[in-house]
Amino acid sequence: MILVPLWGRLVRPMNPKEVAMQLHENERKVLLELKERGTATTEKLALHTGLSRDAVEKASGWAETKGVVSFKEKVSQFFTLTEEGNKYAKKGLPEVNLRNLLVHGAQEIGSLKKTFEGINIALAWSRRNGWANIDKGRIELTEKGRDITDLVEDRLLKTLYKSESVEGSVFTDTERDIIEQLIKRKLVIKSEHMDKSVAITKFGKEVIPELESTKGVRIITQLTPEMLANKEWKNAVFQRYDVSLPAPSVTPGKRHFISQIIDYIRRFWVELGFKEMTGDYLELSFWNFDALYQPQDHPARDLADTFYMKTPYKGHLPDPKMVEQVKLTHENGWTTGSKGWQYKWDPEVAARNCLRTHGTGMSVNQIAKLKPEDLPGKFFSVGRVFRNETIDWNHLAEFYQTDGIVVGEGVTFRDMKGYLKAYMEGLGVKKFRFRPGYFPYTEMSMEAEVWNEERGIWNELFGAGMFRPEVVKPLLGLDVPVLAWGPGFDRLVMQSYKVNTIKELYSNDIGLLRRAKLWME
């Protein structure tokens, strides 16, 4: 994007000298030309300044904003004969010819119809003008017809015949009426012409001496490499700009706002001492559900919410020992101290591939990788999760979540509140609360809610909790407290960017991306 220089507009009373320095070369030419003439059409100015008419008009426009000229636009009308009009101009109008004939005495209509050219037109107009009467097949002039001294129509046709077109202002009002008639008779056509004229103002006249004093001095608009090379700038004067003028904004290359916020969230967790964990979008149901102690007939595993894969349909279950522990925990609680769900666990169901419905699968995968010597540990992830939704203004099939876990002997429910409070405050949420929630894999379960000032209600923001021993022990081999959470942040981004729907948030509307403010935290 190239910035174009802009020329000034008078925003406050200025002194003639200052204004003189603000004038562009073309404005100076126009103004100097007007010194003698006072007023001139742009056409004439073009002729005398050697500029194009377009350039004169632009320069006059700028000059007007500086108060040195006033710019007037006047519409002129021009009249021209049509082909038929030309014919009558030469031969005379039929009704005029008839009148001139009748001056010599009345005539039989019957014989006129045979001999007189254009008799019908002549009769019609004679009657309309009130020049002649028809009585018992004879036509004779009225008193009005006889006493005409000025045959205006005829005279106008002849005037128009003499020059190609005639400017309307030369005609009297009566003549203009007649011309309108002739236009209706398609003998004359009217054309319009926009006449722009420029007049020097009183202030403009005060500027003139300033211009003349710098006459011959080079006025620089754009400094060029050549001027720098030949030092021309040394004897030149820089045109002054009105710096208060609006400039168009430059659209830069830029990061997407969601991606800026993801960077921020990463930094946020790292500053709190968390290590990043990553994982795949396509996951075994084992990690997405079973390792999280979700019974295999749990409604959340329904086809309605989860994308299951056609290709690749299923995968291989991980470490058989760990899988066996998970299986026993589901069936009877294994050694976790739980009663378990008390049903028959099916490895085929767990081997089924799906698109991860939450980032929590990554968290349990991480726990399974940990050794006792790795504890305590704090981990986070940021990534997309998928829901089998029909997409509309408020529902998407994929969105972002940032999951976190803290694993370690001695971490407590109060610590969980501590981390989540920090997260909420980090994202600028002022009023929030934590209330009991429910997830099959956490106990305590917690729902973080944010106060919606507009509607006066609490809105659910995300779930959190401490992983049940039935989740942790089969994977880690130890019963260690684990804090876990999985917030989405779409709602907060929407609030921050004044975007009303989730769909718009992910629309990649280039206009929105170009004007979205930077995330400067």
User: Two tokens at 154?
Assistant: 């005829």
Provide the pairing of β-strand 138-141 with 107-108.
antiparallel
**Nearest to other proteins of 168, 481 (CB atom):** 481
Please tell me whether residue 246 binds other proteins under the rule CB under 8 A. Answer: no
Please tell me whether residue 303 binds other proteins under the rule CB under 8 A. Answer: yes
Question: Where is 357: in which H helix or E strand?
Answer: none
Map tokens 């002039």 to a residue.
141
Which segment (92-100, 102-110, 234-242, 296-304) binds other proteins by CB under 8 A? 296-304
Tell me the per-residue interface mask from 337 to 356 with other proteins, x by CB under 8 A, - otherwise.
xxxxxxx---------x-x-
Instruction: State in angstroms the smallest separation of the CB of 124 from other proteins.
Output: 59
Cα–Cα distance measured from residue 506 to residue 301, given in angstroms and rounded to the nearest whole number: 26
Cα–Cα distance measured from residue 499 to residue 411, given in angstroms and rounded to the nearest whole number: 38
**Nearest to other proteins of 112, 349 (CB atom):** 349
Instruction: State in angstroms the smallest separation of the CB of 439 from other proteins.
Output: 9
Please tell me whether residue 114 binds other proteins under the rule CB under 8 A. Answer: no
Instruction: State in angstroms the smallest separation of the CB of 384 from other proteins.
Output: 6
Cα–Cα distance measured from residue 179 to residue 84, given in angstroms and rounded to the nearest whole number: 14
Instruction: State in angstroms the smallest separation of the CB of 285 from other proteins.
Output: 10
**Nearest to other proteins of 112, 513 (CB atom):** 513
Quick check: 271 and 423 in contact, CB under 8 A? no
**Nearest to other proteins of 124, 247 (CB atom):** 247
Please tell me whether residue 256 binds other proteins under the rule CB under 8 A. Answer: yes
What is the Rg, in whole angstroms, of the alpha carbon atoms belonging to the chain? Answer: 46
Which segment (7-15, 67-75, 190-198, 455-463) binds other proteins by CB under 8 A? 455-463
Which segment (156-164, 170-178, 199-207, 431-439) binds other proteins by CB under 8 A? 431-439
Cα–Cα distance measured from residue 50 to residue 56, given in angstroms and rounded to the nearest whole number: 9
Q: Which of 475, 118, 454 is nearest to 328 (CA)?
A: 475
Quick check: 472 and 455 in contact, CB under 8 A? no
Secondary structure letter of residue 164 according to DSSP: S
State which of residues 187, 258, 370, 476 lies at the interface with other proteins (CB under 8 A).
258
Contacts of 83 (CB under 8 A, 6+ apart): none
Q: Which of 211, 154, 195 is nearest to 29 (CA)?
A: 211
**Nearest to other proteins of 284, 367 (CB atom):** 284
The span from the first CA to the last CA of the chain, in angstroms, equals 28
Which segment (51-59, 150-158, 170-178, 252-260) binds other proteins by CB under 8 A? 252-260
Which segment (116-124, 165-173, 224-232, 395-403) binds other proteins by CB under 8 A? 395-403
Cα–Cα distance measured from residue 84 to residue 95, given in angstroms and rounded to the nearest whole number: 15
State which of residues 113, 138, 369, 514 lies at the interface with other proteins (CB under 8 A).
514
State which of residues 390, 453, 454, 498 lies at the interface with other proteins (CB under 8 A).
390
How many Cβ atoms sit within 10 Å of the Cβ of residue 50? 10
Instruction: State in angstroms the smallest separation of the CB of 415 from other proteins.
Output: 5
State which of residues 336, 366, 401, 402 lies at the interface with other proteins (CB under 8 A).
336
Whole-number Cα distances in Å, 29 to 194, 216, 488: 23, 12, 65
State which of residues 170, 410, 430, 453 lies at the interface with other proteins (CB under 8 A).
410
User: Two tokens at 153?
Assistant: 């129509």
Instruction: State in angstroms the smallest separation of the CB of 315 from other proteins.
Output: 4
Please tell me whether residue 497 binds other proteins under the rule CB under 8 A. Answer: no
Tell me the per-residue interface mask from 25 to 64 with other proteins, x by CB under 8 A, - otherwise.
----------------------------------------
**Nearest to other proteins of 111, 412 (CB atom):** 412
Chain centre distance of CA 321: 59
Provide the pairing of β-strand 482-485 with 398-407.
antiparallel
